[in-house]
Amino acid sequence: MRILLRLSLFGAITLASLSALAVENPKPAPPAVEPAAPGSLATMAPLGEGRIGLRLGGGIAVLLPFYGIEAGYGLGRVDIVARIESVIGVLHYPSIGVRYSPFDIGSWKTGLVLAANYSFFGIKTDNVNLTSTFYLSGEAGVSGPVTKATDLMFAVGNEVDFFDYKNLDGEGSFRSNVHYDTLILIMGLKSKLTEDLDGYVRGRVRIPVETFRYEATNLYVVPFLEVGGTFSFSTKRAASIK
């Protein structure tokens, strides 16, 4: 009996000692996983699930002033994006489309963009004077960090016209006009200005097919230089606060 009592007492003391050591030396917690940085409409990085992004900019197209406003909503690796661009308040380019980032190359993001576009030129007169074109545009590019706060972006775009609509002196007419129209080369730089706001500069060169056909480089190549700001916010955070 005494032997059993001593064994029980020894076991209890041993268990208590092990428990005390476990309390004094707890297992280190696994390192916290940093949340993925939100994307941007100024790069190829997707906005992220449930995020809304805005991009506002302006600049010069050849020698003419223009501005652009773009808004997007994130659905994972896919963004729904709408944009309106206007040159001197007369040439207008509304569009709606999708951005998709299929895969990453290290810290760099690849991106594809497909959009439906409608460009129109109108002058207010007694009768409606309007010329317009419906076209599809596609873009492929890549973007990634070059410093801790700065991303670089490269892309190549194409435009295919489908039909024209004209309204001259009150008479409207549609004309099918399917053809490859324009090659676009894009290079941009985005940098963090504040915790919530990024600044960007973007250069574009539009090279219509007429440039190759007539070799009229000085007449048809249209350079754009755009400077602006962009930011995004999460709708999920706002919903949780409510």
Which domain CATH number covers 226? Answer: 2.40.128.130
Confidence (pTM): 0.78
CB of 85 closer than 8 Å to CB of 67:
yes
| Within a domain: 147 | yes
Give the per-residue pLDDT at 124.
63
Give the per-residue pLDDT at 50.
94
| Within a domain: 40 | no
Q: Fill in the DSSP letter of residue 101.
A: -
| Within a domain: 2 | no
Q: How many CA atoms lie within 13 A of 212 on its CB side?
A: 8
| Within a domain: 94 | yes
Q: Distance (Å, rounded) from C-alpha 64 to C-alpha 134?
A: 23
Q: Distance (Å, rounded) from C-alpha 61 to C-alpha 66?
A: 7
| Within a domain: 41 | no
| Within a domain: 38 | no
Segments of the chain scoring below 70 in pLDDT: 1-36, 122-128, 211-219, 237-242
State the total domains in the chain.
Answer: 1
Return the residue matching tokens 């295919």.
Answer: 160
CA of residue 105 relative to chain centroid, distance: 17
Give the per-residue pLDDT at 173.
84
Give the per-residue pLDDT at 216.
55
Give the per-residue pLDDT at 166.
86
| Within a domain: 146 | yes
Return the residue matching tokens 């896919």.
Answer: 78
**CB under 8 Å to 146, separation ≥6 — which residues?**
152
Q: Is the dihedral of CA 160, 118, 65, 112 positive or negative?
A: negative
What single letter denotes the amino acid at residue 57?
G
Q: Which domain holds residue 74?
A: 51-241
